[in-house]
Amino acid sequence: MSTYTSKLQLKLPAFTDEIENTIRDLGENFEKLDQNADDFATEIPTQGDYKQNIMIRNANCVYGSYYGWVNTRTGKAAPQWTSVHSYQNGDYIVPTVDNGHVYQCIQSGYSGYREPVFPISEGIEFEDLRATNGWAASTYYQKNDMILPSVDNGRYYLCIQAGESGDQEPVWAITDGTTTYDKNAVWASHRIAKWKEIGAAVWFRPFGKIE
C-alpha cells in the first residue's frame, strides 16, 4: 500500500502494489511536481490569474536586479493604463499607481490624455474622460486639451494644435484619428473607451536583490 512524502504529499508506491496503480501514482507525482516547479519570466506578468504567495523566478538575473517576484494579493494581472491608447472590449488594465483593483474595457475606444480617477467600488462603470469639458466658442485651447461636442456622438476630441476655436461649432469628424479644423485649433477624433471595475488585481513585489 502506497504512503506519502511529508512536504509535497507525493505517493510512494509499495512493492505489493499492482503495476497499473504504480504507474498511475507516478503520473500523479509528475503532475504535482510540475505544478510546484518554479515559473520563470523576465518581468512581472501582465495577464492571467494568480493566487497569493505565487513566486516567479527572474530569468535574467544580473547585478542590481532581483531573484524574482512574489505575489502578495490574489487577483488578475493586467498591463498599466496608457494615455490615448486603443482598447478593445475585454481588455484589462490596472492604474499606474496600484489601488488594488483591475478594470475591464466594456466599450471599445481610446483612453483619454489624462489618467482617470479609478473608482474602487465593486462593478462601477465609467468613461475615460478625465478633465474633459464641452466645446466653447472663441476659446483658446492648449495642446492635449480634451473636449466633447455639444451633441453627444460617443467621441472626445483631443487638441493636437493649440489655438483659438471658431465662433461656431465645427462639423466634427467621426473616424478615429481624423482631424477637425476649428479656426486656429485642430482636433483629433477618438471614440470614448468605457471601463468597469471587476475585482482584485495582483500585486507582485520583488525579492532577493542581487548585490
Look up the pTM and report it: 0.85
Alpha-carbon gap, residue 201 to 211, rounded angstroms = 30
Alpha-carbon gap, residue 79 to 94, rounded angstroms = 6
- Enumerate the H helices of 54-197 as residue ranges: none
Judged by DSSP in three states, 157 sits in: strand
Q: How confident is the model at residue 39 (pLDDT cuts 50, 70, 90)?
A: confident
Instruction: Output the 3-class SS for 55-73.
Output: EEEECCCCCCCEEEEEECC
Q: To the nearest whole number, what is the mean pLDDT of the chain?
A: 92
pLDDT at res. 170? 98
Alpha-carbon gap, residue 63 to 106, rounded angstroms = 42
pLDDT at res. 131? 96
**Going by DSSP bridges, is the β-strand pair 39-41/55-58 parallel, antiparallel, or unpaired?**
parallel
Q: How confident is the model at residue 102 (pLDDT cuts 50, 70, 90)?
A: very high
pLDDT at 23 over 80: no
State pLDDT tens for residues 150-204: 999 999 999 999 999 999 999 999 999 999 999 999 999 999 999 999 999 999 9
pLDDT at res. 1? 60
Q: How confident is the model at residue 85 (pLDDT cuts 50, 70, 90)?
A: very high
**Going by DSSP bridges, is the β-strand pair 185-191/179-182 parallel, antiparallel, or unpaired?**
antiparallel
Query: Residue 147: CB partners within 8 Å, gap ≥ 6?
Result: 132, 133, 134, 135, 136, 141, 156, 157, 159, 187
Cα–Cα distances in angstroms (integers) from residue 144 to residues 58, 131, 203, in the given order: 38, 11, 32
pLDDT at res. 82? 98
11 forms bridges with which residues in the sheet?
4
